[in-house]
Amino acid sequence: MATQPINCEQANERITDWLNNQLPETDRVALEAHLKACPACETEANSVRQLWQLMGNVPTPEPGETARVRFQAMLDTYKDTVTTEQESVVDNLLAKLRQLWAPKYAFRLAYSLVLLIIGVATGYWFQRSNTPALAYQQQIDTLSTQVQEMRQMMMLSLLENPAASERLRAVSYTEEINQVDDKVVDALLTTLNNDANVNVRLVTLEALAKLADNPTVREGLVQSITRQESPLVQSALADVMVKLQEKRSIKPLRQLLRDDKLNHLVKGKIEQSIRELS
Amino acid sequence: MLQVKAGNMDTMGLLFERYHRPLFGFLFHMTSQREASEDMLQTVFYRMLKYRHTFTGDGEFRSWMYHLARNVLVDYSKQNKRSAHQYDLADVAEKIGGGPAADERFQKEQELDTLHKAMAKLSPENREVLVLSRFQELKYEEIARVLNTTEGAIKVRVHRAMNELKKIYLTLENGNATYKL
C-alpha cells in the first residue's frame, strides 16, 4: 500500500501522536518518510522527542508506606460504618419500639404518682380541715342567731323611740328578721294601733301584711280595723283584708261604715272591699 | 469494582494495590505537592467506596477512577487557589541520586527542573492531557472517556499542549542559559 506524501504542517501535527505511539501504521510510515526528506521537520521532531523522552525520565514518586496504612484504616472505618448502618436499621426499629413504649410507661407512672399524691394530700387536708369547718359553721350559726336576737331587741327598743323616723326604721327591720316571734308581732300590732304617726302605722301595716300567715297577726289586723281613725290606714287595711280574703273582717268593716266621722272616699272604698270579700 | 459495589469491601484492598501508584503519580504530577497528593489519594479511594453505586460497570474502572480523581483535584484547587505550584525538588534529587557522573547528573537535574517548571506553567487542561498520556500512559480513547469528550479532541489537545510545553521549556532553558552566563 503506497503511502500518501504529507506536507510539513501535517507532519508537525502528527509528531506527538507518533511519539505517543498512537499513530496508525500508514501515517507513521508517511511521517517517517517526510522527516527523512525534510531537515526542518526532522529538527523539530527531534526537539519534541527530546522533550518527550525527558518527560519519560521524570520520576514518579512513590506514595509513602503510610498511604497503605491510612487506606486500610479508612477502609476498616468505612466497613464499620456500613455495617453499623445496617445494624442501626434494626437498632432504630427497636429504639423506636422502645420509644413508643417507654414514654407511655413513664407517663403512666408519673400520672399515677401524681394521682396518688393528690389523693393523699386531699385526704390529709380533709382530715385536718373537717373539724374546724364544723366548728366554724356552729360559730357562724351562733353568731347569726345572736345577730337576729340583737336586731329583734334593737327593733323593739327603736319602736319606742320618740322620733317617727327611728320607729319607721324599726319596722323595716322586721323584714330582716327571719323568725318573728310573738313579742315582735305584739309590738308591731301595738304600733299599728297606737302609733301617733300615720306613716309609721302604714309601714307597720305593710310589714304585718307580709306576716299574715301568722294567725295572731290576722286576728290583730281584723281587730285593728275599728281602732283606726286615719282614712289612709283605714283604706289600706281594707285593701289588705281583700288581699288576704279575710272574711272575719266584714263585720268590723261594716261597723266602720256606721261611723259618721268616716271619710266618704274611704266609705266607698270599704263598701267595695266588703262586696269583694262577701 | 463491581464486587465492591455488591458489598464485598475486601476487594477494595486489591484495587488499592493495583492502582494506588499510578493514581498517586497522576495527583502528584498535577499538583506537585507530595503531602496533598497523599491526602487526595485517600480521598479518591474514600469516594470510590462512598459513590460505588455510581460505578455502572460499562467503561473501565480506570476511567472512572481518574474521573473521581479529577473531581478531587478540582475541589483541592478550589481550596488552595492561592498556593502556587511548588515542586518538591527534594523528591527529584532523591530519585536521581546515585546516577552516573556528577556533571551529567547535575545537567539532568537541571533539565528535569526546567521541565517541571514548564509543566507547572501549563494550563491545568493541557497539563492534564500530558500527564494522562505521557505519565499515566493512557490511550487517547481512554483519556477521552475520562474527560467526557472525543478522541479527536484529545488528539488536538495533546498536540497543542506539547507545543505549548516545548515553547515554555525552551524559554526557560534560554533563561537558565542567560543566567548561567
CA dist., res. B51 & res. B61, Å (int): 13
> Residue A1 has what pLDDT?
43
At B45 the pLDDT is 86
Asked if residue B125 and residue B73 are part of one domain, the reply reads no
CA distance B78 to chain A (A): 23
Whether residues B174 and B98 fall in one domain: yes
State the pLDDT at residue B6: 65
Given B53, B79, B105, the domain boundary residue is B79
Identify whether B137 is part of a domain.
yes
Contact A63 B38 (CB under 8 A): yes
pLDDT of residue A130: 64
Q: How far apart are CA A71 and CA A77, in angstroms?
A: 10
Q: What is the pLDDT of residues B114-165, one digit of tens each?
A: 888 888 888 888 888 888 888 888 888 888 888 888 888 888 888 888 888 8
Q: What is the pLDDT of residues B50-103, one digit of tens each?
A: 887 777 766 678 888 888 888 888 888 877 765 444 445 444 444 444 445 566
Query: Which residue in B56, B49, B53 sits closest to B11, CA to CA?
Result: B49
State residue A218's pLDDT score. Answer: 86
Domain boundaries, chain A: 8-50, 154-277
Residue contact A63–B139, C-beta within 8 A = no
For residue B30, which of B135, B180, B146 has the smallest C-alpha distance? B135
Find chain B residues with C-beta within 8 A of A27's C-beta.
none
Which range of residues forms the domain containing residue B142?
92-180
Inter-chain touch A57–B112, beta carbons under 8 Å: yes
Please report the pLDDT score of residue B87 as a whole number: 47
DSSP string, B128-164: HHHIIIIIS---HHHHHHHTTS-HHHHHHHHHHHHHH
Domain A154-277 belongs to what topology? Leucine-rich Repeat Variant (1.25.10)
- Residue A46: predicted pLDDT: 84
| Confidence band for B168, pLDDT divided at 50, 70 and 90 | confident
ipTM: 0.70
Clarify whether residues B127 and B166 are in a common domain: yes
* CATH at residue B61: 1.10.1740.10
Of B13, B140, B162, the CB nearest to A22: B140
d(CA B181, CA B178): 5
Same domain, B73 and B118: no
**CATH code, B167:** 1.10.10.10
* Residue B49, domain member (yes or no): yes
| B86 located within any domain | no
**B interface mutation test: which of A71, A78, A80, A84 has the most B CBs within 10 A?**
A71
Q: Final residue of a domain: which of B79, B105, B124?
A: B79
Block mean pLDDT (10 aa), chain A, length 278: 67 79 81 84 83 79 79 81 70 71 73 92 81 79 87 83 84 75 84 85 87 85 84 86 85 83 82 85
Name residues whose C-beta falls within 8 Å of residue A8's C-beta, 6 or more positions apart in sequence: A34, A38, A40, A41
**Residue A103 CB burial class (10 angstroms; 0-12, 13-18, ≥19):** exposed
Residues of B with a Cβ under 8 Å from any A Cβ are 9, 12-13, 16, 20-21, 24-25, 28-29, 34, 37-38, 41-42, 45-46, 49-50, 91-92, 95-96, 108, 111-112, 115-116, 130, 133-135, 139-140, 155, 158-159, 162, 165-166, 169-170
Residue B150 sits in the same domain as residue B120: yes
Number of domains in chain B: 2
Asked if A67 contacts B22 with a C-beta cutoff of 8 angstroms, the reply is no
Looking at the complex, does the CB of residue A36 fall below 8 Å from at least one CB of chain B? no
Helices (H), B8-123: 11-31, 34-50, 61-79, 89-96, 102-121
* Lookup: cell for B33: 505537592
Q: What span, in angstroms and rounded, lies between the C-alpha atoms of A25 and A276?
A: 150
Domain assignment of residue B85, yes or no: no
Q: Which of B25, B49, B79 is the last residue of a domain?
A: B79
Cα A247 versus chain centre, distance: 61
A56 and B CB contact within 8 Å: yes
B96 and B75 in a common domain: no
Q: In angstroms, what separates the C-alpha of A101 from chain B's closest C-alpha? A: 35
The pLDDT assigned to A239 comes to 87
Report yes or no on B84 lying in a domain.
Answer: no
Kindly report the nearest CA distance between residue B72 and chain A, in angstroms. Answer: 16
The overall longest dimension of chain A from CA atoms, in Å, is 177
| Within-domain flag for B43 | yes
Same domain for B97 and B26: no
Alpha-carbon gap, residue A62 to A64, rounded angstroms: 6
Determine, for residues B46 and A63 on separate chains, whether the beta-carbon distance falls below 8 Å: no
